[in-house]
Amino acid sequence: PVTVRHSGVAGKDIVYVNLENEIQVSVHLFKDISSTFQITVFGENGWKLIDIRNSYAMFRDNLIEFIRSVEEGSSRLAFKKTINIIDTLISAQDSLQQNGKLIKLV
C-alpha cells in the first residue's frame, strides 16, 4: 500500500487503501450488522460481486494454514505480505485517531 485513509467512525469503519499500481481498495467494516462477507471487484469492462455465505469454511481454512505453519516451523505466508497487512491495519487506526488524515506508507 502507498496510502491509507480512514473516513468512518469506530464501529462503522471505512478505509481507503491506494496501492502502488494505482488500484484503489475500499474496506467497509460495520460492527453491528448481520454476518456477511462480500467482495466487489470493478474493472474497465464490468464488475463482479463475490458473496461469501459460508464464512466458517473460510476461517477454518485459515486455521488449517496456521496449524501447517506451526507444524512446519515456518510461515506459509511471505513475511513481506504479513508486514504489509499489519502496516495497513495500524495506518487505518492512526488515520482514525487523526480524524481521517491520509497516512503515507512509502
Q: Map out the domains of the chain as residue ranges.
A: 3-104
Mean pLDDT of all residues belonging to the chain: 90
Task: Report the pLDDT averaged over residues 61-73.
Answer: 91
If pLDDT is split at 50, 70 and 90, which confidence band does 93 have?
A: very high
Rounded to whole angstroms, the Cα distance separating 67 from 15 reads 30
Predicted local distance difference test score (pLDDT) of residue 71: 94
Rounded to whole angstroms, the Cα distance separating 37 from 54 reads 9
5 touches 16 (CB < 8 A): yes
Q: Whole-model pTM? A: 0.77
H-state helical runs in the chain: 55-72, 79-97
If pLDDT is split at 50, 70 and 90, which confidence band does 72 have?
A: very high
**Facing residues of 64 across strands?**
none
If pLDDT is split at 50, 70 and 90, which confidence band does 56 have?
A: confident
Predicted confidence (pLDDT) per residue in 17-29, tens digit = 999 988 999 998 8
Predicted local distance difference test score (pLDDT) of residue 13: 93
